[in-house]
Amino acid sequence: MSLEFSLNTLGAMVKVLPVTLSLTALSFAASLVLAIVIAVIDYFRVPVLKQVCGVYVSFFRGTPLIPQLFLLYFGIPTFVAALRDVPAFTVCVAGLTLNSAAYMKEVVRGALLSVPQGQKEAALAHGMTPVQTMFRIVLPQAARVAVPSLFNNLVDIVKGTSMAFTIGVIEITATASLRASVTFNYFEAYMVLMLLYWIIILILERLEAAVEKRLAVGYNR
């Protein structure tokens, strides 16, 4: 086992770590927004849109991430010339967003349904509109229920960024793979990679605990 190679590989991965973190942050934020929109459509049973969203969720939950990325990066641009110059990074964010939102939608939907019906009826009886009731009464309470599962989705997105190198995005997995293929130090390269992912996940677990504690304090007040 080469300590020098491990340290050099770690240094190289730290340099591209911002790419992995950017992919994660952008994909999670976009996924959350899309999931909330779809969940609200399903919650209010909006005609046509509910069925369209149902097909979308079924498709992206029923197919693997890598073929989805290949379809977005290699497949669709074959027919849509305007998409041929879209950077691989952007395509990866889009792919992770579409994939993750399909799962997060169910989390948000379950959280919305967990809010007692009586509170919604009371808000409406006091003159609130359905939209005001959603944003002032339902969503704040649903957030507390959704946080643990949403952090699980965030962890999945972090791991999902490892697929980005399949379409040419140089992030930490790509860096480890390239260095291992040149030097044949596969054990060291992938062990350092896994430890780095583990550290990222441990930090997210601490962040989740802090957010849950903060929400619990606000709710108890």
Whether residue 104 contacts residue 153, with contact meaning beta carbons closer than 8 Å, is answered with yes
Kindly tell me if the per-residue pLDDT of 27 is higher than 70: yes
Q: 19-175 sits in which CATH class?
A: mainly alpha
Domain ranges in the chain?
Answer: 19-175
Higher per-residue pLDDT: 114 or 160: 160
Return the percentage of the chain with pLDDT > 90, whole number.
65
Cβ(15)–Cβ(179) under 8 Å?
no
Query: Of 61-75, 97-111, 207-221, which range is least confident?
Result: 207-221
Residue 156 pLDDT exceeds 70: yes
Residue 6 has pLDDT above 60, yes or no: yes
154 contact partners, CB below 8 Å, separation of at least 6: 24, 28, 204
pLDDT at 93: 97
Distance CA 86, CA 16 (A): 20
Q: How much is the pTM?
A: 0.90
